[in-house]
Structure 1
Amino acid sequence: MAKQIQLGDHQLTIVKTTRRGSIALKVSPDGASLMVPKQFSDQTIAELVASQAEWLLSSIDKQQAKWPAKMTLQSGGTVPLFGEPIRYTEDHVTAVRSLQVRLEGNQVCAFLKTHRQLKLPQATLQQKWMRFYRQQLADYLLPRLVILAAEMGVTPGEVTIRTYRSRWGSCYADGRIQFNWRLAMAPKPVIDYVIVHELCHLVHPNHSRDFWQLVQQYCPDMLKHKAWIKQQGPALMAF
């Protein structure tokens, strides 16, 4: 289990790596991690954190400020689906046994079996939204991945859709590929780029020059899609 150190209002996770004599701070919506050389003792780490506390706190606060506030769902507002704003409404009905979120024409509806004056907790709604987005993404991504993999001449292992807080996909040494369900909010060309990116890792399990050349071969607009993710990604991760 990773060691954690209390630093002001933050829990700093200590991760020991093969780095040589250097440290690195990583901040994501999930929290802050400090990468340290694996040979550092607990006492050395504690002294390091204490001596660099002001810098660490300042860096964490600055980086977390870049992440948008967590998105909330408001009936009558809009939500992103495949890069387009879709109207979101809530309808209180007695015909459903449980909360349902589904696409109805050009809008997304949440059907609630509650009294109109009762407001459903955001956490419950967000769980249903996650399932909705996961299914929407699966319906597009899985057939698309089969097509792209055939074009590229690669054979991925098991493909799943899961929750990530700071990445869009992962490719493992055994060929498994996992994608972030939040991709359902991105334009389809961006989703295609992420698919190609992960499939290229089956050939080059790194981010070498050869890797990026292969990505660009099958996704000529790679730089455009990377820029979109850099600019819009934090807002989607906040959902």
Structure 2
Amino acid sequence: MSRPPATPLRRDADDAVEVIELGCGPVPVRWRVSRRARRLSLRIDPSGGHVVVTLPPRASRSTGRALLGRHSDWIAGRLAALPSRIDFADGVCIPLDGLTHRIRHDPLSRGGVRVDAGMLVVSGEAQFLPRRLSDFLRAEARRRLAVHVGRIGAGLERRPRRLSIKDVRSRWGSCTADGTLMLSWRLVMAPPTVQDYVVAHEMAHLSHMDHGEAFWRLVDRLTPNRLMAERWLREQGPALLRIG
């Protein structure tokens, strides 16, 4: 039976998620249309545990499905290799500055969240624990990462115009041409040496917006942690995206 001709993906379908049957079984897929995309591409989103297919504006879903089918084995392997998801809950262990801390719900304590002898003690009603802990980690990320920004900034002629802490899925940080520095709050869970490298990397873009030789020389001048941190992020970074 003939099929109707493929139609371009509409803008209102952008970021829609659907489950598609591939040779490896059912796979959750999020569709994205990008005006800047020149070709089809796919990647694994560790945070959501799904595949992201990016298409140029006039590409069709059928073309995207064909791409998924050709890479079904790779997709299955990558999804199977994702770390287990960890939700914020009483008794669960999560890292802070690279050190394991156990979440303990104490409804009678005060102050929201406090760090106490390897524990993250969360006050209030149990239903608000995830939100309170998430707010705490974001605030700690801003406080701790700002220390790295201040130290590293002392060795640069330019300073960031603004520091923004966000929850992004595809990068640990970025630096815009106007000097806005964006860092993932999840870095607060990584060791300080890794935080230091990511901050140095993004702040080096204040002087060099590319990744040329001059850029890497500046990164190495700003931090001694590049090689170790890059390896840690490759090996351990995906697990941070599965927390919370």
TM-score (norm: length of structure 1): 0.80
SS in 2 for 1:112: coil
Does the aligned pair in 2 maintain the 1:166–1:237 contact within 8 Å? Answer: no
Instruction: Give the share of equivalent positions with the same residue, in percent.
Output: 27
SS in 1 for 2:154: helix
Does the aligned pair in 2 maintain the 1:77–1:88 contact within 8 Å? Answer: yes
Determine whether 1:85 maps to 2:100: yes
**Paired residue for 1:23?**
40
In structure 2, what is the Cα distance between the partners aligned to 1:66 and 1:5?
A: 21
SS in 1 for 2:170: coil
Deviation at 1:152, TM superposition (A): 2.1
Determine whether 1:152 maps to 2:164: no
Determine whether 1:208 maps to 2:208: no
Does the aligned pair in 1 maintain the 2:83–2:242 contact within 8 Å? Answer: yes
Determine whether 1:10 maps to 2:28: yes
1:222-237 map, 5 Å: 222-237=226-241
SS in 1 for 2:179: coil
Gaps of 5+ in 1: 114-119
SS in 1 for 2:155: helix
Number of residue pairs aligned between Structure 1 and Structure 2: 223
Deviation at 1:160, TM superposition (A): 1.7
**Paired residue for 2:170?**
166
User: What is the CA deviation profile of residues 80-137 of structure 1, one whole-angstrom value per residue up to 9, with x for unaligned ones?
Assistant: 11111223322232x75xx922223543201234xxxxxx34xx43222221111222
**Paired residue for 1:116?**
none
In structure 2, what is the Cα distance between the partners aligned to 1:111 and 1:233?
A: 29
Deviation at 1:50, TM superposition (A): 4.2
TM-score (norm: length of structure 2): 0.78
In structure 1, what is the Cα distance between the partners aligned to 2:191 and 2:54?
A: 34
Determine whether 1:54 maps to 2:69: yes
Deviation at 1:226, TM superposition (A): 0.7
Q: Which letter does structure 2 place at the counterpart of 1:90?
A: H
Q: Show structure 1 runs of 4+ deviating over 6 A.
A: none
In structure 1, what is the Cα distance between the partners aligned to 2:219 and 2:138?
A: 25
In structure 1, what is the Cα distance between the partners aligned to 2:41 and 2:157?
A: 38
In structure 1, what is the Cα distance between the partners aligned to 2:17 and 2:165?
A: 32
Q: State the superposition RMSD in angstroms.
A: 2.6
Point out the more displaced range, 227-236 or 204-213.
Answer: 204-213
1:110-149 map, 5 Å: 110-113=122-125, 120-121=126-127, 124-149=128-153
